[in-house]
Amino acid sequence: MLNQNRMLRYELLKDNKNADKLFGSFLKYIEQESLSPTQEFTIEEISNIIPRGTAEVSNYSTYGFSFMSMLSNQKDRDYFCFQNANLSKIFTEICNNNRNRDNYEWKKLYLNEKCKINSTYLNEGKL
């Protein structure tokens, strides 16, 4: 059920995996700090808002993978819309590569990339 008092639609989170918990924590921060949920964020800004340890995701490798999975379309996630439309696909391909995946490729190559929260997760009547 949609909470009509919220700007963001938490009930639409895909699952209760670490990537989803991180995104939920990001949404809570946006709401608590009264930031505009329609503004653009860089990946670096998002990582600063939900650093390792957020939502009890403390293991270095697990956090890196979970953060990248949150940015990807893995497991039908669609939390962000990137200026560079190829990024979700790139992150998904990296996440799905179990042989030689770099869980921190997002941090090494893509920190300045910009995205917005997918409007699906916005309660339009409260913006």
Whether 29 contacts 57, CB under 8 Å = no
pLDDT reading at 2 higher than 70:
no
Q: Please tell me the predicted confidence (pLDDT) of residue 6.
A: 60
Model-wide pTM > 0.85: yes
SS3 120: helix
Tell me: the pLDDT tens digits for 94-109? 999 989 999 999 999 9
Cβ atoms within 10 Å, residue 119: 12
Starting from the edge strand earliest in sequence, which strands make up the sheet with 80-82, in order?
41-42, 114-117, 80-82
Whether 123 contacts 4, CB under 8 Å = yes
Q: Which DSSP helix (H) or strand (E) runs through 80?
A: strand 80-82
SS3 81: strand
